Amino acid sequence: MLRYAFARILGAIPTLLLVIAIAFLMVHAAPGGPFDSERVLPPDIKENIERAYHLDETLPQQFYRYIKGVVRGDLGPSYRYRDFSVSELIAGAIPVTMRIGALAILLALIVGISAGLIAALRRNTVLDRLVTGIAMIGISVPVFVFAPLMVLVFAVTLKWLPASYTGSDGADRLLLPVIALAMPQIAFIARLTRASLIDVMNSDYVRTAKAQGLKTLSIVRYHAFRPAMLPLISYLGPAFAAVLTGSVVVEHVFGVPGVGRFLITASANRDYTLVLGITVFYAAMVVFLNLVVDLLYAFVDPRVRTR
């Protein structure tokens, strides 16, 4: 298992390099530069700035300089937020994004699995239709509609919860962002759990268990639950990645100082190094999460392990 994990990590290095190279070319191909504005800079001032940030060098020189820095763990200075390096900006934002992301996934798993189990075990009843219907709404209503709506109801009108992450120092500031972020995942996990459990419950060995007189709940607990969770585990990696990238809207609406906001502002500002830094971060996260899911899959399903 360890050797497998090590090989996967080594294999990720060329992938990451390729991602950096493509992202580097793309950000530099986009029209405009980081210091453009309606107030056009006089040539001498522009030259001084470009020299300070090595933007006067050729593209290959800039790429070499960047890669050299990345290898040393230096993602360069931010062109926009000039008081910070890109590493400092990302490092400062990761804990916030991770905290909200992890809580959202946890909430999605608990609520989603609970709802999915109930719907599957009470198939074709009002309860099932209710769960399926709510899940459908959860998937269909985009976060940018759902999140501001929650703010209007719970913060502005009822004044139960803060409207923003910085509106309180307590845990209540996490509730709305976490729910908003978890909502689509709850819906998806509920539907996935329901479908998967129904599928497992129709399999031959479950039928055999039923024939032997075991109660439904016992069958679920001892025979069906674990195999039914396999598709969910496969989904966990993309789900966590979706939660991290999906945090862009949530972070904007709730003023959460996480990584997601940088995704939009950095590219809008042509903050080349920050765009690249965020890309490297997300790429590394996706590679890492896929690895974790594969290892988890092997852990849960003995068939994968023996193969």
Residues numbered 146-165 forming contacts with other proteins, rule: CB under 8 A:
148, 151-152, 155-156, 159, 162-165
- What is the spatial distance between Cα 71 and Cα 268, in angstroms, rounded to a whole number? 27
- What is the spatial distance between Cα 178 and Cα 99, in angstroms, rounded to a whole number? 9
Query: Cβ closer to other proteins: 75 or 229?
Result: 229
Each residue 18-57 as x (binds other proteins by CB under 8 A) or -, in order, gives: ------------xxxx-xxxxxxxxxxx--xx-xxx----
Query: Cβ closer to other proteins: 63 or 84?
Result: 84
- What is the spatial distance between Cα 183 and Cα 37, in angstroms, rounded to a whole number? 39
Query: Cβ closer to other proteins: 9 or 59?
Result: 59
Query: Cβ closer to other proteins: 12 or 154?
Result: 154
What separation in angstroms does the CA of 245 have from each of 2, 20, 240, 259, 283? 29, 18, 9, 9, 11
Quick one: DSSP state of residue 54? T
Instruction: Report yes or no: 278 and 263 within 8 Å, Cβ to Cβ.
Output: yes
Six-digit token string for 251:
């972070």
SS3 content of the chain, % helix, strand, coil (to 5): 80, 0, 20
- What is the spatial distance between Cα 165 and Cα 50, in angstroms, rounded to a whole number? 37
Query: Cβ closer to other proteins: 13 or 152?
Result: 152
Report which of 106, 74, 107 is spatially closest to residue 277, judged by C-alpha positions.
74
Instruction: Report yes or no: 17 and 285 within 8 Å, Cβ to Cβ.
Output: no
Among 261, 266, 274, 287, binds other proteins (CB under 8 A): 261
Among 21, 106, 136, 137, binds other proteins (CB under 8 A): 106
* Residue list 112-141, contact with other proteins (CB under 8 A): 113-114, 117-118
Among 63, 84, 235, 297, binds other proteins (CB under 8 A): 84
Residues that contact other proteins, how many (by CB under 8 A): 75
Each residue 173-192 as x (binds other proteins by CB under 8 A) or -, in order, gives: xxx--x--------------
Stretch that binds other proteins, among 14-22, 128-136, 225-233, 285-293 (CB under 8 A): 225-233
Query: Cβ closer to other proteins: 111 or 283?
Result: 111
- What is the spatial distance between Cα 295 and Cα 232, in angstroms, rounded to a whole number? 14
* Residue list 191-220, contact with other proteins (CB under 8 A): 220
Q: What is the CA radius of gyration of the chain?
A: 24
Residue 236 beta carbon to other proteins: minimum distance, rounded to whole angstroms: 14
Among 185, 258, 263, 277, binds other proteins (CB under 8 A): 258
- What is the spatial distance between Cα 297 and Cα 235, in angstroms, rounded to a whole number? 11
Query: Cβ closer to other proteins: 247 or 279?
Result: 247
Six-digit token string for 91:
């490092």
Stretch that binds other proteins, among 63-71, 104-112, 127-135, 238-246 (CB under 8 A): 104-112
